[in-house]
Amino acid sequence: MAEVRRIFTCKCGYKLRYGAARCGDCYAPTPFYNRTYFWRAIIVLLPLAAGTMVLVAVA
């Protein structure tokens, strides 16, 4: 079985699983950047912002 990479940590020091809504140790809510929707929004919004900047610069 593949080992899970745990990049983010909770305020209690527990290493969080990516995408988890709560800490597995203290049950506190995880930071917003540990959620999948945050990174999906970044992936969608950055190209849109870059495209808008290019259109404004050309006009």
Q: Kindly report, residue by residue over 15-49, the tens digit of the pLDDT.
A: 988 888 899 899 999 988 888 888 888 999 998 88
23: burial class by Cβ within 10 Å (0-12, 13-18, 19+)?
Answer: buried
What's the start-to-end Cα distance of the chain, in Å? 54
How many domains does the chain contain in total?
Answer: 1
pLDDT in the model for residue 5: 75
pLDDT in the model for residue 27: 93
30: burial class by Cβ within 10 Å (0-12, 13-18, 19+)?
Answer: buried
pTM exceeds 0.75: no
Domain that holds residue 19: 1-59
Question: Hey, how many other C-beta atoms are within 10 angstroms of the C-beta on 56?
Answer: 8
- Calculate mean pLDDT across residues 42-58: 87
- Distance (Å) of CA 50 to CA 44, 46, 56: 11, 6, 10
